[in-house]
Structure 1
Amino acid sequence: MELQKMANGHHELSPGKSTREDGFDALENMAERDQFLPQKTDGTRETSFTDFEGKTSFGMSVFNLSNAIMGSGILGLAYAMSNTGIVLFLMLLTFIAILTAYSIHLLLKSAGVVGIRAYEQLGLRAFGQAGKVVAACIITIHNIGAMSSYLFIVKIELPFVIEGLLGQTEKSSGEWYLNGNYLIIIVSLGVILPLALMRQLGYLGYTSGFSLSCMVFFLISVIYKKFVMECPVFSGNSTHLPMSPVYSSGNDTCTAKLATLTPQAAYTIPILAFAFVCHPEVLPIYTELKKPTKKRMQNVANISIMAMFVMYLLTAIFGYLTFYGKVGEELLKSYSTTDTLMLCVRFAVLVAVTLTVPVVLFPIRRAVLQLLFPEKPFHWARHILIAFCLLFLVNLLVIFVPNIRDIFGVIGATSAPSLIFILPGIFYVRIVPEEQEPMKSRPKIMAIMFAALGFIFMVMSISFIIVEWVTGESRGIGGH
């Protein structure tokens, strides 16, 4: 259970307080609670998160968390389905969605027991300073990878959108406005940075809602295209341009498979896991939720996961049933660049991923603040400088690394299972008092098994990537 608020600046418990959890946590964790969210100050003391008045509505919190869940991984789901078949994909998608909801339950339960709503502070409470550093580093690495994947989509797709709007059929390399490197810098400074300077994550609920609307338009267009396009058999290939379709019917490649296993099926679980990673954003959204309770935040998470589950499933099914075994690793690449509707879809996806970057940046900034300035009050100069430096770093990655797919693979294989499985499980085991739940109790045994599952998943993912490198094969794994 959560600790009582400190009233009028006095560090004392409320009268009549008798439960052992309250007394234990209040005495042992008072200093830790004082370190979180020290923005509000009256000149005499810093306040803890329990003094922070959340103002974000339930609906806006759902938009923010849904936007945090939905990432560039949605573009790789049809490809994943083509390698597993419809039934097996549905089973895996359901399995990952349920595990994601359970891992968020573990996080919220741990946060409620000690009165902490920062991922890094949970690490500190569970394993001391080492746990805090590990949690902050994993969050930073994963979210930098996610931000890079979003900006890579901008770098690749925005020139095609501009070409379509200008009516050009061939790229003119001499035009600066068709250079993806210049475009991501303009988008970063003109759109992402101003949104990233918001002081509270809740204010991004409106942009998150608009971003989700763009992805709903993407989904509707994918469904529509299924019914107006014949099954294509692709010829030729290109690094950036879509393959040339030769439409055919009655072909074996145009037959949907309910269950199949290809060599690329090994990457299906990583793709699905990356697509559901939202854990670094859960606790910040919980902090800013109006009338925050564990049940209320769990409902936010469940609704967000269910909404993304439906979007993911429909996108995968109709994308797969449009191109079948010839679907591209990134779904948009399978469509023609001269199609007016898909040109609008590309623009909508660009807007969606661009508006998602600020939401992903917030947990990184909090991780940096927790590591470097844990007891400092809020300061605009520090707030702005961290956001600018993070965007500068991500832009450098996107511009100078020619193929970051392998880096994403390593990051995803290590950070995704850590954030979804391992950290929530071990935090729960370490933080929940044995007086409340003994080590041999069913909830703690389940948490241990959950963390072990994440470790197995990590070893398997890294092994697949190493095998791919050794054999010299090139297969994309997508990204969150």
Structure 2
Amino acid sequence: MSIIGNTNTDLYHECAAGDIGDNETAPLLSNGSVQTRAKGASFTSSVFNLMNAIMGSGILGLAYAMASTGIVGFCILLVLVSSLAAFSVHLLLKLCDQTGINSYEDLGGRALRKPGKYLVGVAILIQNIGAMSSYLFILKSELPTTISSFQNPDNTGNAWYDDGRLLLILFTLCIVLPLSILPKIGFLGYTSSIAFFFMLYFAVVVMVKKWSIPCPLPLNVTSGAFQVSNSTDSECTPKLFVFSSESAYAIPTMAFSFLCHTAILPIYCELDRPTKARMQNVTNVSISLSFVVYLVSALFGYLTFFANVKSELLIGYDAYMPRDIMVMTVRLAILLSVLLTVPLIHFPARKALILLLCGGRPFSWLIHIIATMSILGVVLMLAIFVPDIRNVFGVIGSTTSSSLLFIFPGIFYLKISRQPLSSFDSIGAILLMVFGFIMGITSFSVIVITWAQSS
């Protein structure tokens, strides 16, 4: 089966696959024979790339999600969302092997014809632009504080590096843009491994610093001395279950945090000895490790600030531990990790944009560069003007994230697969689709109502 863009120089070289059905250990085929190709990305490199696609700015919002749902409620939801994410990846990989299609957009075209193809492309573009803008939003808000923390505290001058917007533009041009123009996603395996260890360091520091900030939290630390609040110790008691309007942000934030589906198939295409079973193992390892890091950082972040946790966790440490060396280094580490994640998320966004505008045209460096610059320009504008990262998590998570993570894989499997509706995967696809619709509509409605009331 021929696949558009299968050239040696094509950035989006598609790993051709034949109709191999449920043979999970068979390699990807092309016209019935094994395709000759260069050695692909290693298993370890693919795991790091996928973890880097999973883990990003979402880790900073999960402590707020725990404060909005309670510890037990959060754990239940996190297990549910991560399990559904792994299952939806299973469905996508199964469809890839059954049809020979290895593009999320083309699966949409196979299931829902041309409208489905463009619907998926638009969803991927919006989702990834939202993700990248949230990452750069963190860079804009945290980088000036990070630089200031390494300076003499008596230095009160307004230097150029105190402007987060200027720093954002410089780092985008000097680091994000060169990495985003790389021809293959597999090249980012080394930067992805660095980004993961930065995230791991973040989780360790959050865990250690839980015992360094008193509770009840001080009201005033600007004078150099803690002024203990008059509140009772009840605010220092962790809540097991919490139900409020803020709970509507919890599942979208988790969906946002586990969404890696736009990068699954490109990583699959570049995996060495690609089979469904091998790629499923990559997915399972990546989601499991990300789950552990997410849970540890969310739990200890919540146990540090309790109901006072911010929608972006690092903000809480700025007030209470502004000159702490570990906080200073972890802030720098998380910024570098977020910065290295942006190019990885950029790849599927650019592919979707080129598909929407140019269809199946052969690879062109001119189109490649123009698309790269256009997307980064839009992302920069959003990162500069979006006032609160929670808005990005909520809206994107309840719309495109729920569609790409739950709804689309379920619909595509039911439309394309030859399995009866009574089979395990078909029943799972139905439940996945129903959960996605309920979660998306409910969360988005509550978020809109909350905005209207606050206005």
The normalised TM-score by structure 2 is 0.88
Question: Could you say what secondary structure the match of 1:166 adopts?
Answer: coil
State yes or no: 1:192 paired with 2:161.
no
Kindly, what percent of the aligned residue pairs are identical? 45
Aligned-residue offset at 1:105: 0.5
Where does the alignment leave 5 or more consecutive residues of structure 2 unmatched? 18-29
Structure 2 counterpart of 1:264: 246
The match for 1:371 among 338, 347, 356 is: 356
**Closer, same or farther: CA 234–325 of 1 in aligned 2, 3 Å:** farther
The match for 2:4 among 20, 32, 35 is: 35
CA distance in 2, matches of 1:353, 1:308: 15
Q: Give the alignment of 1:142-221 within 5 angstroms.
A: 142-168=127-153, 172=157, 174-221=158-205
Q: Give the alignment of 1:60-459 within 5 angstroms.
A: 60-168=45-153, 172=157, 174-235=158-219, 246-247=227-228, 251-335=233-317, 336-402=321-387, 405-406=390-391, 408-433=393-418, 437-459=419-441
Question: Could you say what secondary structure the match of 1:182 adopts?
Answer: helix
Aligned-residue offset at 1:259: 2.9
What are the superposed Cα offsets for residues 437-476 of structure 1, whole Å, 9 maximum, x if unpaired? 1244342232122112111111101111121122117xxx
Residue type of the partner of 1:313?
L
**Closer, same or farther: CA 388–60 of 1 in aligned 2, 3 Å:** same
Task: Identify which range, 354-363 or 216-225, moves more after superposition.
Answer: 216-225
Aligned-residue offset at 1:411: 2.5
Aligned-residue offset at 1:159: 0.4
**Closer, same or farther: CA 102–108 of 1 in aligned 2, 3 Å:** same
Task: Identify which range, 225-234 or 408-417, moves more after superposition.
Answer: 225-234
Structure 2 counterpart of 1:20: none
**Closer, same or farther: CA 452–163 of 1 in aligned 2, 3 Å:** same
Aligned-residue offset at 1:165: 1.9
CA distance in 2, matches of 1:37, 1:277: 26
Residue type of the partner of 1:35?
I
Where does the alignment leave 5 or more consecutive residues of structure 1 unmatched? 1-29, 474-480
Aligned-residue offset at 1:339: 2.1
Question: Could you say what secondary structure the match of 1:35 adopts?
Answer: coil
Residue type of the partner of 2:164?
G
CA distance in 2, matches of 1:34, 1:80: 42
CA distance in 1, matches of 2:207, 2:359: 48
CA distance in 1, matches of 2:370, 2:199: 31
Structure 2 counterpart of 1:476: none
Aligned-residue offset at 1:412: 2.3
Question: Could you say what secondary structure the match of 1:235 adopts?
Answer: strand
Aligned-residue offset at 1:180: 0.9
Aligned-residue offset at 1:407: 5.3
Residue type of the partner of 2:208?
Y
Number of equivalent positions = 429
Task: Identify which range, 113-122 or 394-403, moves more after superposition.
Answer: 394-403
CA distance in 2, matches of 1:371, 1:84: 39
Contact 2:245 2:446 in 1 (8 A): no
* Aligned residues: CA RMSD: 2.4
Residue type of the partner of 2:443?
S
CA distance in 1, matches of 2:193, 2:355: 29
Question: Could you say what secondary structure the match of 2:239 adopts?
Answer: coil
**Closer, same or farther: CA 301–284 of 1 in aligned 2, 3 Å:** same
CA distance in 1, matches of 2:53, 2:257: 10
Aligned-residue offset at 1:36: 4.1
**Closer, same or farther: CA 411–265 of 1 in aligned 2, 3 Å:** closer
**Closer, same or farther: CA 274–386 of 1 in aligned 2, 3 Å:** same
Aligned-residue offset at 1:377: 2.8
Aligned-residue offset at 1:53: 4.5
**Closer, same or farther: CA 245–39 of 1 in aligned 2, 3 Å:** farther
Task: Identify which range, 50-59 or 148-157, moves more after superposition.
Answer: 50-59
The normalised TM-score by structure 1 is 0.84
Question: Could you say what secondary structure the match of 1:186 adopts?
Answer: helix
Aligned-residue offset at 1:410: 2.5
Residue type of the partner of 2:239?
K
Residue type of the partner of 1:461?
S
